[in-house]
Amino acid sequence: VSNTTGPVGSLAGLTVVELASEHAALAGKMLGDLGADVIVVEPPGGHASRAYGPFADDVEDPERSLWWWYYNTSKRGVVLDLTTDDGAAGFRRLVAGADIVLEGEAPGALAALDLDHPELRADRERLIWVSVTAFGRQGTRAHDPATDLTLLAGGGPAWSCGYDDHALPPVRGGGNQAFHIGSTWAVMASLTAVLAREVTGRGQHVDVSMHAACNVTTEMGTYGFLAARETVLRQTGRHAMPTISMPTQMRCADGRYVTTGFPPRSQRDFESLLEWIVTLGFRDEFPETMLLDLAIERGGVSIAEMSTDDLARDIFGAGREALCFIAERISAEEFFVGGQTRGLACGVVASPEEAFESEHIVARGFHVDVQHEELGRSVRYPGAPFLMPASPWRISRRAPHLGEHDAEILNR
């Protein structure tokens, strides 16, 4: 990824100064991958996330944290001790050349150092300052301690995730998603502030609450309560609903899972389903083939019919049964492709590495090889969340080593 020719990214020309944090790191990466010049500032000794595993080749080393690697692509890095006069002066100089400051410090921490938004924006009204904190910078809860787990649990998502068996706890979705939610909102807000500045000439302060962000990332869990005071209940591998619904996640012959979405209703769905059963040689083995025939004869079934028409209900049930019957007899991948090529929406529950190796993603150029010259090899990273050919998303460099760009940026 060292090609410097070709179109530049959409945020080319914007400079971002980021104070390293675990929760706003993805925001900095997104801005950098979109073409901004992002300078990540770490304290002496490096940011704590350099100690997060796993590590490259399982060698514990601050330059080998895969967390650091992933969340800090396309950034240059400097070390500044903001608690010293020298470090504070260095930070002020960096901010003087920045369009956006991105930080996730505890509320009050920067003010105590006289390095907060009001002080640094005083003679620089174009400056945009984005704070990403657990509960926002003000209010009763501003200083409550929080982590990814407690944000997802206290903000709503975890209540909706888990199993039919409520003796099992609700589940935190994996992968630092509270930080991803907060960081994505931080990028939306940053770019909104950039566009507003083009009109007004003025920057502003942007306050991002990860708790608030999780609260509006729950679909019906929130709007169902707001509109109808409904409380959803978690259910295995499918939507939490006020009532218990039928399973949609099924275990296939190879032990892997698929999700079927909504069972067939239209005539065409039933035709596809029957054709699938016949093609697999299960016409005689599947006990309810006759109901599929009936479904086709009567032109499918509608949800509205279920409450009044026993046959419609039986047919609907047979469609679901047919999907389960097929799933138990073929592999998850065969089910996914077999269903989708017949127009039946379904998905294979892929592990991240299986998702990454899918032929489709590879064909679209999702694999990006990033040079890690310090290890004498390149490393394959996940690529662009969207393709924008005139100003491509691009990993311009691997994550910086500690203080790697001190000399070129700080003139040390």
Partner 1 sequence: VSPERARGALSHLRICDLSGQLAGAGATRFLAAVGAQVIRVEDPVRQGTWDIVRGAGPFVDDRRGIEFGSGFNNHNVEKLGITLNLRTERGKQLLRALVAVSDVVTENFAAGVMARMGFSYDELRAIKPDIVYVSNSGFGAWGPTSSFKTWGPIVQAVSGLTFSSGLPEQPPAGWGFSYMDHMGADIMAVAILAGLVHRNRTGEGQWIDMSCTEAGTTLVGPDLLDYTVNGRPLRRQGQPDSNHSHAPLRVPHGIYPSGGDDNWVAIACRDDDDWKRMAALIDEPWATDPRNDTLAERASVQEALDARIAEWTRTRDRFAVAESLRAAGVPATVVARPEDRIDHDPGTSEWGLWPTAHHTEMGDVRVDGIPVHFSETDWEITRGGPCLGEHTHQVLSELLGLDDAEIEQLAEDGIT
Distance between CA atoms of 293 and 287, rounded to whole angstroms? 12
Beta-sheet strand order (sheet of 249-251)? 249-251, 257-259, 347-348
CB nearer to partner 1: pick between 25 and 291:
25
Stretch that binds partner 1, among 68-76, 77-85, 103-111, 269-277 (CB under 8 A): 68-76
The CB-of-367 to partner 1 minimum distance in angstroms stands at 9
Contacts of residues 358-362 at CB distance under 8 Å and 24 or more positions apart, as own/partner, are: none
CA–chain centroid gap for 66, Å, is 17
Binding mask 227-266 for partner 1 (x = CB under 8 A): xxxxxx-xxxxxxx-x-----xx-x-----xxx-x-----
CB nearer partner 1, residue 76 or residue 180: 180
Nearest-angstrom CA–CA distance, 41 and 19: 5
Among 383, 396, 400, 409, interactor with partner 1 by CB under 8 A: 383
Q: Is 317 helix (H, G, I), strand (E, B) or coil?
A: helix
What CA–CA distances, in Å, run from 218 to 41, 155, 226? 33, 9, 12
What is the 3-class SS of 192-240, one letter each residue? HHHHHHHHHCCCCEEEEEHHHHHHCCCCHHHHHHHHHCCCCEEECCEEE
Give the contact letters, 26-55, x = binds to partner 1 (CB under 8 A), - = no. ----x---x--------------x-xxxx-
Work out which of 44, 175, 287, 299 binds partner 1, going by CB under 8 A: 175
**Residues 184-223 within binding reach of partner 1 (CB under 8 A):** 184-189, 191-196, 198-200, 202, 204-213, 215-223
12 interacts with partner 1 by CB under 8 A: yes
Q: Of 108-116, 269-277, 317-325, 343-351, which segment contacts partner 1 by CB under 8 A?
A: 343-351
User: What DSSP string describes 92-147?
Assistant: HHHHHT-SEEEE-PPTTHHHHTT-SHHHHHTT-TT-EEEEEESS-SSSTTTT----
- Least separation in angstroms between residue 374's CB and partner 1 is 13
To the nearest whole angstrom, how small is the minimum distance from the Cβ of residue 125 to partner 1? 10
Q: How far is the CB of 62 from partner 1 (least distance, A)?
A: 13
Q: Which two tokens stand for residue 93?
A: 């100089």
CA distances from 116 to 28, 121, 193 (A): 19, 8, 18
**Least distance from partner 1 to the Cβ atom of residue 189, Å:** 4
Which of the 8 DSSP states describes residue 46? -
183/176 Cα distance (integer angstroms): 11
Judged by CB under 8 A, the residue of 45, 169, 287, 299 near partner 1 is 169
Q: Which stretch binds partner 1 (CB under 8 A): 85-93, 100-108, 159-167, 286-294?
A: 159-167
CB of 193 to partner 1, least distance (A): 7
Query: How deeply is 17 buried, as exposed, middle or buried, from its count of CB atoms within 10 A (0-12, 13-18, 19+)?
Result: buried
Return the residue of 350, 402, 403, 405 that touches partner 1, per CB under 8 A.
Answer: 350
Residues 6+ apart with CB under 8 A from 292: 270, 273, 274, 277, 315, 318, 319, 322
- Using DSSP's 3-state secondary structure scheme, residue 250 falls into strand
Smaller CB separation from partner 1, 4 or 411: 4
Find the binding residues for partner 1 in span 69-88 (CB under 8 A): 69-71
Quick one: which segment of 74-82, 105-113, 180-188, 280-288 binds partner 1 (CB under 8 A)?
A: 180-188
In this complex, which beta carbon is closest to partner 1, that of residue 71 or of residue 286? 71
Nearest to partner 1 of 318, 346 (CB atom): 346
Establish if 394 lies at the interface with partner 1 (CB under 8 A).
Answer: no
